């Protein structure tokens, strides 16, 4: 009885050791009698003891590998350090297992040599401004080169470009000079716009002053014309009233005397009397008397 129990326990342990569960996003490479047999995907699998062996357990997720900076030389003989980040994914566990020894080291070395070849065709300024070009070329070359290894390169990014110290100092001086130049240009443009605005303001002010002066003169002229018109209208109304009242010759003569008296009060020293007036001598006598009375 004890022997049966021991045998049963051994069978259970034996079965448990040879039943394998492959998790999601994993691939198991299985060998049978030393040769490749198949690749297990996720699920439950049974392995024949002493005949089957799991050669490699491969992750099918995308892998991000950050490689250390690599020294490269540009076309104009400037040495700099560039580090890259490679995003890749294992698409065939069999090729990944049997295609190349130490696949990660192979990818790192391939990335370094490819980077040197690409940078060697570019000058310093092109290297600093052509990251997209470098990324695209490296991704295409690495993807094609890693196909036999069961690897798919999805993306390559240049993480950092470190030029020599003297080049960095020269670039900083150049950027500082460029910033100062832009600042001076902006300042000059601001002063120019300010001068233009001031000139336009003075011009508009002068125009407004001239228009105001013109309008004032027009108003004064209109006022004088209106006053003169009213005066003439009043005189005309007075003459009309006299005519309507049928004034006799004595009244008209008296009005003439009053007018001559007003003329005499002026600054004139000579008075010219039209020849058409009647009784010129008598009018002159009256005017002389009026002048004498004023002197007294």
For the chain, give the mean pLDDT. Answer: 81
Q: Among 44-53, 92-101, 112-121, 238-247, which stretch is predicted with the lowest mean pLDDT?
A: 238-247
The 3-class secondary structure across 90-108, one letter per residue, is ECCHHHHHHCCCCHHHHHH
Q: What is the mean pLDDT of residues 234-248?
A: 67
Task: Work out the average pLDDT over 232-249.
Answer: 67
Token pair recorded at residue 293 = 């009375």
pLDDT of 170 > 80? The answer is no
pLDDT reported for residue 136: 92
Query: What pTM, to 2 d.p., does this model score?
Result: 0.56
Model confidence at 249, in pLDDT bands (50, 70, 90)?
low
pLDDT digits (tens, 9 = 90+) for 55-69: 999 999 999 999 889
Q: What is the DSSP string of the chain?
A: -HHHHHHHHHHHHHHHHHEEEEPTTEEEEEEETTEEEEEE-SEEEE--TTTEEEEEEEE-SEEEEEPPPEEEE-TTS-EEEEEEEEEEEES-HHHHHHSSSSHHHHHHHHHHHHHHHHHTTS-HHHHHH-HHHHHHHHHHHHHHHHGGGTEEEEEEEEEEEE--HHHHHHHHHHHHHHHHHHHHHHHHHHHHHHHHHHHHHHHHHHHHHHHHHHHHHHHHHHHHHHHHHHHHHHHHHHHHHHHHTT--HHHHHHHHHHHHHHHHTSS-S--PPPTTSS-HHHHHHHHHHHHHHHH-
* Domain spans, the chain: 2-59, 62-163, 168-246, 252-296
Confidence of residue 276 (pLDDT cuts 50, 70, 90): very low
Total Cβ atoms within 10 A of residue 185: 10
Per CATH, the architecture of 62-163 is what? 2-Layer Sandwich (3.30)
Mean pLDDT over 203-218 rounds to 87
């Amino acid at each position: 009885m004890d022997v049966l129990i021991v045998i049963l326990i051994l069978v259970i342990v034996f079965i448990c050791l040879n039943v394998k569960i492959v998790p999601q996003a994993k691939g198991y490479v299985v060998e049978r009698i030393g040769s490749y047999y198949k690749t297990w995907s996720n699920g439950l699998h049974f392995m024949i003891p002493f005949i089957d062996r799991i050669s490699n357990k491969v992750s099918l997720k995308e892998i991000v590998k950050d490689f250390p900076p690599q020294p490269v030389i540009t076309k104009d003989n400037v040495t700099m350090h560039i580090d890259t980040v490679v995003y890749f994914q294992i698409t065939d566990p069999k090729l990944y297992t049997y295609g190349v020894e130490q696949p990660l080291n192979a990818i790192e070395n391939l990335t370094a040599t490819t980077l040197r070849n690409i940078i060697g065709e570019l000058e310093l300024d092109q290297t600093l401004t052509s990251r997209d070009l470098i990324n695209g070329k490296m991704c295409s070359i690495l993807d094609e080169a890693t196909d036999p290894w069961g690897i798919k390169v999805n993306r390559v990014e240049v993480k950092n470009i470190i030029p020599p110290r003297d080049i960095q100092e020269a670039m900083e001086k150049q950027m500082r000079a460029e910033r100062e130049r832009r600042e001076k240009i902006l300042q000059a443009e601001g002063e120019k716009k300010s001068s233009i605005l001031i000139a336009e303001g003075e011009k508009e002010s002068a125009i407004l002053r001239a228009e105001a002066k013109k309008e004032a003169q027009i108003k004064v002229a209109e006022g004088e014309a209106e006053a003169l018109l009213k005066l003439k209208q009043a005189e005309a109304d007075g003459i009309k009233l006299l005519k309507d009242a049928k004034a006799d010759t004595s009244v008209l003569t008296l009005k003439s005397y009053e007018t001559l008296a007003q003329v005499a009060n002026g600054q004139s020293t000579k008075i010219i009397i039209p020849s058409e007036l009647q009784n010129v001598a008598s009018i002159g006598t009256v005017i002389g008397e009026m002048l004498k009375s004023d002197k007294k």
